[in-house]
Amino acid sequence: MPTERTAIESQVPEETEGLRLVKASHIATGFPAIVRSLKSALSQESIVAMARDWTLVNQDRGFDCPSCAWGDPEGNRSRFEFCENGAKSMADASTKARATPEVFAQYSAEELSHHSDHWLNALGRITHPMVLHPGHTHFEPIAWGDAFEMIASKLRSLSSPNEAVFYTSGKAVNESAFLFQLFARVFGTNNLPDCSNMCHESSSLALSRTIGIGKSTVTVEDLEHADCILEIGHNPGTNHPRMLTSLQIAKDRGAKMIAVNPMPEVSLFRFAHPQKPWQWVGDGTPMADLYLQVRINGDVALVKGFIKALIELEDENPGTVLDWPFIEHYTSGFAELEESVRSCSWESIVRGCGIDLPSILEAASMIAASKRMVVCWCMGLTQHHNGVENIQEMVNLLLLGGNIGRAGAGALCIRGHSNVQGDRTMGVWEQMDDPYLDRLRDEFRFEPPRKHGWDTVASIHAMNENRVAAFISLGGNFLSASPDTGAVARGLNNVQLNAHITTKLNRCHLFTGSAALLLPCLSRTERDEQESGLQITSVENTVNKVSSSRGHLEPASQYVRSEVAIICGMAKVSVGDRAAIEWDAMAANYDLIRDAISHVIPGTEEYNKRLRETDGFYMPIPPKERVFTTDNGKAKFTVNPMSPIVLEPGQLLMATIRSHDQFNTVVYGLEDKYRGISGGRRVIFMHPDDMAARGLETKTLVDISSHFRGERRCMQHFQAIPYPIARGCTATYYPETNPLVHLDAVARGSCQPASKSVVITVARSLDQNATNVAPDGTEVTTA
């Protein structure tokens, strides 16, 4: 069985050889993005498949892009409504490579575990259900019926339903997500961790507390009509490139843009639309009117500075800056906020964020002149110990100007995976409220469990404490997406049965516990034929719109099944006699699933009709109508302390980030064109002055140690790369440095991993000739 050490040693020689520093692109996308998209597609799929993918993705009666959750434009759409990352994702799903039983016969699970996710992904689509039996070394083919019976037998053997964990990835569509949580709750548990726990749990909690719902309050059109846009804590060019089109539209209409990020990401400054040839020449569209290079975790201090400046501007010009009618009629808590902000000195604010006072005042003046402001953020705000407070401070800023429930204004929480928001709407959450559970009970005539279940971090703890016997995963890469890789590996190896619904092999599948199943499913690009005919599925994007998705390519193998069919097959055998649920009927006709959803989830009424007769529908967002379903019926101002991270001499802060050749945990290649990296990923970006202070030169091998509550963890042999990041801050790629993120380093309230503010020290490696060998892993010591 692969060990914890193997899990940590994920950076193997093929990803450390030949690291080169190349000229970084100074404009986001443009013509080079077309070239890279073509190269990626044609290296993996046929021209015919590529043409079908490219012309149907994100189109009416086409399929939803399996990459990010960005919203589609209303009305006329581009003929090619996707980005470079979408092209890579489609090519990855439509690849001609196949992980057949012969491939699994060639490599043992132990041998496979020593390869990286990048290498494993390149093996291609899994063609048959596979099993690793107890005591065996290799995965072997298994019949679907036998696989379902194996799962059912294990579930029936548990002493408590809470010994099972049901994990969901954001790539799962609404229909499969709804059935998956139904399966878990009929079985008797609310242990439903999902990828939201790791990306936007802080946003969901903060928004629910302050405006009554944990979702964005804007549409794509609102963003395009904003007159001031605050881009904070995210990198649109790599993480959600289609957003750049909307930002460009807003800029062309005269919007001012303030960009806040410790790293000067290219897409915050210039963008050339790849479908507009006249933009291929020149410097593209200027984006940010003001760039503020905040220190890591300095966001509350910076936004508090904006708020303080706005209050002082209101003092100078009463009635011209703050929206008093909105504040007085729709909000509560302003007096407490005002008192708190006035008591903060400018010195403490400047020290806390690292931005000089004139720049803070300049930004505040831009905000004060605005009548329609949108604040956009992603995990650069949520993955901190004070991630919830970060988002609450953004809401404070919006409420001051009445920028909730106004056209062209609002909060834009940018989701990552293409249906991560839809999964939560469908009920994939360990803390669903009683009204939801009551409706589920009434629809299916069973009593759902009421005790809250485990989120991601709690599930990992439970695995390590031998309290989990069965782990069932609907997509995703739990090992590489979670913090504290060693703890996750130990936990998975403690589990008696790990079952994964998946399209491809990843490292999580190789930490097998006593036994493991790989259940290959259709990708979103493939035709889903069931007994009643060709099926459609649905997703919800980051701006709350539900739309249909129809696959068009032939399945990767005659043996793969849809997510829905697999879940229904498992559930029928495991819990088929426990509730009034026709699992076979729903697997045969997804309309029946959506009929049930429409009875359980408010806002989805006439689901099938609206999905088929229109291009989709928006879920209800009460704050858009200035209806706030908080405990007092008001939008709430909150007081959020700056709570800076105090560093000891020699310590730095580290944020984990994606490369441009990556989407979430899927690494498509070893290039990061916007940061000038080629051929490798085991790097640490450092300010040149921080490197000089430690006697480091470009590509010097260094060891990185993290420090949390007296525990030191060390990862060896990273190459130090000078980069214009904020002084005292560093950045590394995930999942490579996830082992440095302690499992208990989480955001207050949301329990979201604090992967964007890790306290580290950096030291020259003793062996400077170790570039081409795999590292020794982490050494965990207690001070």
DSSP alpha helices (H): ranges in 225-345? 236-239, 243-252, 299-316, 324-330, 334-343
Query: In angstroms, rounded to a whole number, what is the distance separating the alpha carbons of residues 286 and 95?
Result: 36
What percent of the chain clears pLDDT 90, i.e. is strictly above it? 76
- Provide the pLDDT for residue 783: 44
Strand 711-722 versus strand 701-708 pairing type? antiparallel
Q: How many residues does the chain have?
A: 783
Query: In angstroms, rounded to a whole number, what is the distance separating the alpha carbons of residues 27 and 275?
Result: 15
What average pLDDT does the segment 510-517 reach?
A: 97
Q: What is the CA radius of gyration of the chain?
A: 25
Token readout for 616 is 């989709």
The kind and range of the H/E element at 9 are: none
Q: Under a CB-based contact definition with an 8 Å cutoff, are residues 460 and 482 in contact?
A: yes
Token readout for 512 is 């097998």
Helix/strand/coil for 719: strand
- Provide the pLDDT for residue 53: 72
Strand 285-286 versus strand 270-272 pairing type? antiparallel
- Provide the pLDDT for residue 11: 43
Indicate whether 663 pLDDT > 90: no
From residue 410, alpha-carbon distances to 28, 398, 417, 546 in Å are 26, 7, 22, 20
Among 6-10, 402-406, 448-452, 610-614, the range scoring the smallest mean pLDDT is: 6-10
Indicate whether 138 pLDDT > 80: yes
Long-range contacts: 51-60, Cβ < 8 Å, 24+?
A: 52/552, 52/553, 53/87, 53/90, 53/91, 53/94, 53/525, 53/553, 54/80, 54/82, 54/87, 54/90, 55/79, 55/80, 56/552, 57/81, 57/82, 57/86, 57/90, 58/82, 58/86, 60/615
Phi, psi for 538 (deg, rounded to 5)? -150, 155
From the list 707, 165, 764, the residue with the least C-alpha distance to 453 is 165
- pLDDT, mean over the chain: 91
From the list 640, 27, 650, the residue with the least C-alpha distance to 349 is 640
Query: In angstroms, rounded to a whole number, what is the distance separating the alpha carbons of residues 69 and 632?
Result: 32
Q: What's the number of CA atoms in the CB half-sphere (13 Å) around residue 704?
A: 32
Indicate whether 92 pLDDT > 90: no
Most confident listed range (67-81, 238-252, 264-278, 319-333):
319-333
Q: Under a CB-based contact definition with an 8 Å cutoff, are residues 68 and 663 in contact?
A: yes
- Provide the pLDDT for residue 782: 42
Token readout for 634 is 């008001």
Query: In angstroms, rounded to a whole number, what is the distance separating the alpha carbons of residues 537 and 590?
Result: 8
Q: Which residues contact 318 (CB under 8 A, 6 or more apart)?
A: none
- Provide the pLDDT for residue 83: 74
- pLDDT confidence bin for 65, thresholds 50/70/90: confident
- pLDDT confidence bin for 2, thresholds 50/70/90: low
From residue 593, alpha-carbon distances to 116, 538, 628 in Å are 37, 11, 30
Q: Under a CB-based contact definition with an 8 Å cutoff, are residues 227 and 408 in contact?
A: yes
Indicate whether 14 pLDDT > 80: no
**pLDDT tens for residues 258-314?**
999 999 999 999 887 777 777 777 778 889 999 999 999 999 999 999 999 999 999
**pLDDT tens for residues 387-396?**
999 999 999 9
Helices 346-353 + 357-368 axis angle, to 10: 100
- Provide the pLDDT for residue 3: 62
The amino acid at 642: M
**pLDDT tens for residues 186-232?**
999 999 999 999 999 999 999 999 999 999 999 999 999 999 999 99
The amino acid at 707: H
From residue 386, alpha-carbon distances to 461, 526, 636, 782 in Å are 22, 41, 18, 25
- pLDDT confidence bin for 526, thresholds 50/70/90: very high
Query: In angstroms, rounded to a whole number, what is the distance separating the alpha carbons of residues 312 and 368?
Result: 11
Strand 28-29 versus strand 270-272 pairing type? parallel
From residue 358, alpha-carbon distances to 135, 309, 737, 758 in Å are 66, 11, 36, 29
From the list 508, 437, 483, the residue with the least C-alpha distance to 189 is 437
What average pLDDT does the segment 449-462 reach?
A: 98
Secondary structure (H, E, C), 391-421:
HHHHHHHHHHCCCCCCCCCEEEECCCECCHH
Indicate whether 63 pLDDT > 80: no
The kind and range of the H/E element at 728 are: none
Sign of torsion, CA 443 446 449 454?
negative
The amino acid at 461: H
Going by the DSSP 8-state scheme, the letter that residue 68 receives in this structure is: B
- Provide the pLDDT for residue 147: 98
Indicate whether 31 pLDDT > 90: no
- Provide the pLDDT for residue 346: 98
Query: In angstroms, rounded to a whole number, what is the distance separating the alpha carbons of residues 593 and 574?
Result: 19
- Answer yes or no: pTM beyond 0.85: yes
The kind and range of the H/E element at 543 are: none
What average pLDDT does the segment 15-39 reach?
A: 75
